[in-house]
Amino acid sequence: RFGWQVINGRWDQWVVGYDTTRQRDFFARLGYPSIDWRTLGFWLLIATFAIGGAVTLGLLVRERPRREDPSLAAWNRYCAKLAAAGLPRAAHEGPLDFLARVRSQKPGHAAQAEEITRRYVAARYGPGASRDELRSLAARVREFRPG
């Protein structure tokens, strides 16, 4: 009961009893011994813009598109090269099904396609690809010329 009375007393002292004298004392401790309504309005405006800017920045960072996985980016370039050569990958085709179709329709590129697909599957679905493995996959895709 006494604890609650202490809390109520503090509330009355600091919130309900927050008058102009306490305001002046507060701003004097902040380094503004004489403050008028213009200065107070200015700082209120600055605080509003600072908080609004922080919230906006937080929302922009949160809504930023995620960076594409390097192995997926290489695979998409590989598929785009094959699509340009007349062999587009169907939406329902996984990497191994697409490889089987590449083997049957472009047998001259089967060895390169197998190597790229093997590296992609290992990088994308394996325990984790090293930076060197991802660079090697990207290099193989750059060298690949199906047309």
pLDDT digits (tens, 9 = 90+) for 102-130: 999 999 999 999 999 999 999 888 887 78
- What mean pLDDT comes out for the span 84-93? 93
Cβ(52)–Cβ(104) below 8 Å: no
Is it the case that residue 16 has pLDDT exceeding 80?
Answer: no
Is it the case that residue 99 has pLDDT exceeding 90?
Answer: yes
**Whole-angstrom distance, CA of residue 58 vs CA of residue 60:** 5
**Whole-angstrom distance, CA of residue 24 vs CA of residue 36:** 10
Instruction: Give the pair of three-digit tokens for residue 93.
Output: 């085709």
Q: Which of 62, 61, 39, 59 is nearest to 51 (CA)?
A: 59
- pLDDT for the residue numbered 84: 93
The whole model's pTM is what?
0.56
Per-residue pLDDT tens digits for 21-46: 887 888 888 887 887 888 888 888 99
Q: Which of 117, 112, 120, 121 is nearest to 146 (CA)?
A: 112
- pLDDT for the residue numbered 112: 94
